[in-house]
Amino acid sequence: MGLVRSLCLFITFLSCLIISVHGQATARPVPVSGTRIGFYLTTCPNVETIVRNAVNAGFSSDPRIAPGILRMHFHDCFVQGCDGSILISGANTERTAGPNLNLRGFEVIDNAKTQLEAACPGVVSCADILALAARDTVILTQGTGWQVPTGRRDGRVSLASNANNLPGPRDSVAVQQQKFSALGLNTRDLVVLVGGHTIGTAGCGVFRNRLFNTTGQPADPTIDPTFLGQLQTQCPQNGDASVRVDLDTGSGTTWDTSYYNNLSRGRGVLQSDQVLWTDPATRPIVQQLMAPRSTFNVEFARSMVRMSNIGVVTGANGEIRRVCSAVN
């Protein structure tokens, strides 16, 4: 009896390590209470295929939707939990908040929802569609996938004012730690999740304060001098604030660890990114994630599952929206 129990525990442990998603080796997370892997197995068995196809179609038309959807999920979870409230459109909704104005991919989520309503009416939440789509964008940019626990329901409240406490591009490590800790995420989660900046861009207006001071001299001595000249050319002092610059210089469309390597060379674009290298509380984690045998992909999957279970609405709470951009 003891041998059987030991074997069962060992098999259970192994099953939690690696699974296959879309034919790829992936990390398998342990689901958090309230959501579970395979939630729609009997009620909408094709949900992941439908979402994946919608994301693939959107990515083929505009690859910029990959970082857009990933950040959309992040911003959704950091404001009242992962309840799809960022998807609601209208005056003074979360979508209208400053940090969310440049997000892309809303039409991809809407497309997936339309197809799911045809296949499984009133079953799949918009919050779950967004969580699945975020995972699929990582795979499309050559990252490693993971199983996404589902079972979230949709929230009914979306206010721009609630987005005021999102992590910002000028935040110190201490401020970032406070914002993550308030949601149950630790410092390692912080450094790992910010690694999502390996894809995507930022507008010059977000970080130009680092490049010039009032006399036109460089303001941030932590920037590599050669890189500083490159950024000043791309983002001149009185230039267009909306011009976009890759957050991961030299590899802005590929999921890899070069983002962390860039931080070690003084080539972080955002101040909130570069301080992860200069602050002793986070530098050792950056060093580990940029190492040749980096565990970044596995750790990112684990931290994403933890993040995607922040404040989830489940059971009889919330609703299953018929259209993601509006409450029922």
Instruction: Give the other-Cβ count within 10 Å of 146's Cβ.
Output: 23
> Does the annotation flag 161 for ligand binding?
no
> Does the annotation flag 128 for ligand binding?
no
Per the CB < 8 A criterion, the answer to whether 154 and 328 are in contact is no
| Per-residue tokens: 15 | 């099953």
Maximum alpha-carbon separation in the chain: 78
> Does the annotation flag 248 for ligand binding?
yes
Per the CB < 8 A criterion, the answer to whether 65 and 108 are in contact is yes
Give the length of the chain: 328
Could you tell me which of 271, 39, 278 has the C-alpha nearest to residue 149? Answer: 39
Task: Tell me the C-alpha to C-alpha distance, in Å, between residue 101 and each of 34, 62, 86, 92, 324.
Answer: 31, 17, 11, 12, 18
Cα within 13 Å of Cα(14), Cβ side: 6
> Does the annotation flag 327 for ligand binding?
no
| Per-residue tokens: 9 | 């525990």
Strand 244-246 and strand 18-21: the pairing is: unpaired
Marked catalytic residue, from 71, 73, 75, 267: 75
| Per-residue tokens: 193 | 């999740």
> Does the annotation flag 81 for ligand binding?
yes
H or E segment and range at residue 70: helix 65-77
Beta bridge partners of 153: 313
Q: Would you call 22 a catalytic residue per the annotation?
A: no
> Does the annotation flag 94 for ligand binding?
yes
> Does the annotation flag 79 for ligand binding?
yes
Q: Which residues are catalytic?
A: 75
Binding-site annotation, residues for Ca(2+): 76, 79, 81, 83, 85, 94, 198, 248, 256
Binding-site annotation, residues for heme b: 197
Binding-site annotation, residues for substrate: 167
Binding-site annotation, residues: 76, 79, 81, 83, 85, 94, 167, 197-198, 248, 256
